[in-house]
Amino acid sequence: MWPLTQSTSKQLLPIYDKPMIYYPLSTLMLAGVSKILLISTARDLPSFKNLLGDGSNFGVEISYAIQEKPRGLAESLLIARDFLEGESALLILGDNIFYGRGLGRQLRMSIPSSGCHIFTIPVANPSDYGVLTVNENGVAVRVEEKPKNSNSNLAITGLYFFDNLGPDLAQQVKISKRGELEITSVIEEYLEANTLTYTTLSRGAVWLDTGSVENLNNACNFIRIIEERTGFNIGALEEIAYLNGWITTEELQNSINSYPHSSYKSYLVGFLSECMRQKTINEPFEV
């Protein structure tokens, strides 16, 4: 995406009305994740810190770590080893956007207690992605990276669950021909151990990979259309935090008061007003 990324991280580029990073963070928060490690370059981390701070505005705890060079996604498990302290992890790529009614509920219900769990979605062009093949019983049997010919159309999205063995398995992965530690290699270790499971996202779910200028523009248009048609904001972190019970009414109000005038601030004002109205007449919240 050069020259767009010459002076800033791709994940700080705008997707319509918010920085790209808001969308993967919102997915983690919808899945119930409140302790987050953001991994980026030494150049870009100060910008992320300036944008997100320690995460307290969003009811989460955000830590930061440096990846010196682009050595592959699997290296993130090695970088996060101390942060994880032997716990499992939900890993998401910073340029992936997920959208769909009940998405958070589906993610929370899908995450197992052990093993590796991947999230797939049917696509028309599977050769552009990592692909999962399953047998006639729906059991995962093969993981391939951008296969030229595949009988499966299940693309592996950029959202992964790894149990506490993830860093150890990533440590054993050999560097690929691309000079990277491939996340597919880690997933294959779980597959061989029969501890790989998967969820195919529901038909109404949308997965957008914004790894190219064309896809970036498509994502901007998608978010704009949905927000304009529905009146709801996609990826509003404060809204998710409030509905999760992670921030109080006072904390949300303080955040709103600190923000400069913008459509985003206006949306949060309207959201909080509606929440107060629902509380007054004892209506259920729409999550």
pLDDT tens digits, 251-262 = 999 999 999 999
**Nearest-10 crossing angle of helices 263-281, 249-258:** 160
What confidence category does residue 287 fall into, taking pLDDT thresholds of 50, 70 and 90?
A: very low
pLDDT (tens digit per residue) in 202-226: 888 999 999 899 999 999 999 999 9
pTM: 0.94
Q: What is the pLDDT of residue 118?
A: 98
pLDDT confidence band for 286 (50 / 70 / 90) = very low
* CA nearest to 36, candidates 17, 19, 22, 20: 22
Sign of the torsion angle spanned by Cα atoms 36, 112, 30, 144: positive
Instruction: Determine the average pLDDT of the residues in 35-48.
Output: 97
pLDDT computed for residue 174 by the predictor: 92
Q: What is the pLDDT of residues 140-195, one digit of tens each?
A: 999 998 888 888 999 999 999 999 999 999 999 999 888 899 999 999 999 999 99
Count CA atoms within 13 Å of residue 192 on its CB side: 7
Q: Which pLDDT value is given to residue 95?
A: 96
| pLDDT (0 to 100) of residue 284 | 44
Distance CA(257)–CA(251), nearest Å, equals 10
Residue 278, pLDDT > 90, answer no
User: What percentage of the chain has pLDDT greater than the value 70?
Assistant: 97
3-class secondary-structure state, position 124: coil
Please provide the average confidence, as pLDDT, over all residues in the chain.
Answer: 94
93 has pLDDT over 80 = yes
Residue entry with tokens 């028309």: 124
Query: pLDDT value at position 281?
Result: 57
Site of tokens 């509920």: 105
What's the mean pLDDT in 240-250?
97
Q: What is the pLDDT of residue 70?
A: 87
Residue 33 has, within 13 A of its CA and on its CB side, a CA count of 24
Averaged pLDDT for residues 85-89: 97
What type of residue is 168? D
